[in-house]
Amino acid sequence: MEDENNYHGGGGYGNKRSYHRAGPTSRPQNKVCIFWQSGRCNRDPCQFLHELPFDQTQTHTQIHDPSSSKRPHHQNLVWTNPAAGANQSKWGLGRHRDNTNANANTGSGRLKLNGEGVGTSAGSDRLCKFFLSDSCSFGDKCRFLHSWSSGDGFSLVTPLKGHEKAVTAIALPSGDKLYSGSKDMTIKVWDCETGQCAATISTGCEVGCMISEEAWLFVGIPDSIKVWNTKTGIEMTLPGPVGQVYALVAANDMLFAGTQDSRILVWRFNVATNCFEPATSLVGHRLAVISLAVGGARLYSGSMDNTIKAWDLSTLQCIQTISDHSNVVMSLLYWDQFLLSCSLDNTVKVWFTNNQEQLEVTYTHTEEHGIISLCGMHDVQGKPVLLCSLNDNSVHIYDLPSFNERGRIFAKQEIRAMQTGPTGLFFTGDGTGELKVWKWCAN
């Protein structure tokens, strides 16, 4: 076994666990600490990264998996199940398609601009970096975008400011309250009517992920999961995780947690005691599990080890391991019998279950930058739309199943959390701590 002291070497570099756009030149190639990955690093400070680097200048973005088969706005996607017939799939059956050389704007023309203060050069889709800091001296004559978005059919409703560090998770357990979790060690509760922060809950440590199931709110933090019932006020803590909890998903009265030490912990809900009891631990990944999704009687997990694993929900046994991605699998989304995965290898892959009950990739969409999160929803006309958050501080919005680009959203730092809401609303949270509320509207 590799010796930890030999791996870490000598010298101190200070506490480098916080987000940096440009890491120090003295850090050895921004190398991630392998002992931190397994939850065993006892050095603070450590000269190696205690973060997941997106690239040589950007670090880990937490994942919130928006997929849930119980949410009505994720139903009735127009895609046809590829297993139903050779000519029925919109993407084609038995033949893998790849759009690596395709133009993302094919069929949609130049993107139009949304928002105020738009520059006169409407053809540019590059955001003015001085606009981000309110210091552009060209004003309306600037040839770069002075807008937080481009495209048709959606607009910014309002920003929600309050967090001091990156927003890592967004949840909507009830119709009148929005919850946001952050690296600033707080959860903020927002009044959906007024847009004001109604309450701030201290977690004592960074929020890694957060989901809601009916009235239950689950919050992943290092070494535990906090649970609240927003209706009854019941509060509990689920111990067991080692290190940060990166992903949560609930199904079949079970709660699944993807953890830093490569395990997936499982709890079952006991109706009699109204609490969650430890059930088992799913072992198989070699590095941290940072994305989870449920669909088709299966649990899917994505990991830093670049693999996706499929688990049978009835037996909780691993039934398939996929190694098609060449970098970290950042987010998973199960939608209408399809599984979508995204990775820091710059791809979104679309999977279907073949006649042998095995996942098979049927389409690969390629971006110029790493993809850190996926979110699926319908616009006001009921058309399926996919939001892809990239580590170039933008979200690309695509019509499905064509992957024609619909528009883009821009931010000062990576958009680390996305969540759909009622009546055409959706929410984004970025690395600066700012939430934004967006709304689909008729063209």
The number of C-alpha atoms within 13 Å of 63 and in the hemisphere containing its C-beta is 41
Beta bridge partners of 427: 419, 437
Q: Taking the CA atoms of the chain, what radius of gyration do you get in angstroms?
A: 21
Alpha carbon 274 to chain centroid, angstroms:
30
Reduced to 3 states (helix: H, G, I; strand: E, B; else coil), residue 190 is strand
> Measured between alpha carbons, how far is residue 313 from residues 287, 295, 310 in Å?
22, 9, 9
At residue 365, the pLDDT reads 97
List the pLDDT tens digit at each of the 443 positions of the chain. Answer: 444 444 343 333 333 333 333 333 344 556 777 666 656 676 767 877 776 654 433 333 333 333 333 333 333 333 333 333 333 334 433 334 444 333 333 333 333 334 433 333 334 567 777 777 777 878 777 878 777 888 888 999 999 999 999 999 999 987 689 999 999 999 999 998 888 999 999 999 999 999 999 889 999 999 999 999 988 888 999 999 999 999 999 999 999 999 999 999 999 999 888 889 999 999 999 999 999 999 989 999 999 999 999 999 999 999 999 999 999 999 999 998 899 999 999 999 999 999 889 999 999 999 999 999 999 999 999 999 999 999 999 999 999 999 999 999 999 899 999 999 988 899 999 999 999 999 998 76
At residue 38, the pLDDT reads 57
At residue 442, the pLDDT reads 77
pTM, full prediction: 0.75
- Let me know: does 430 contact 418? Beta carbons within 8 Å: no
At residue 240, the pLDDT reads 94
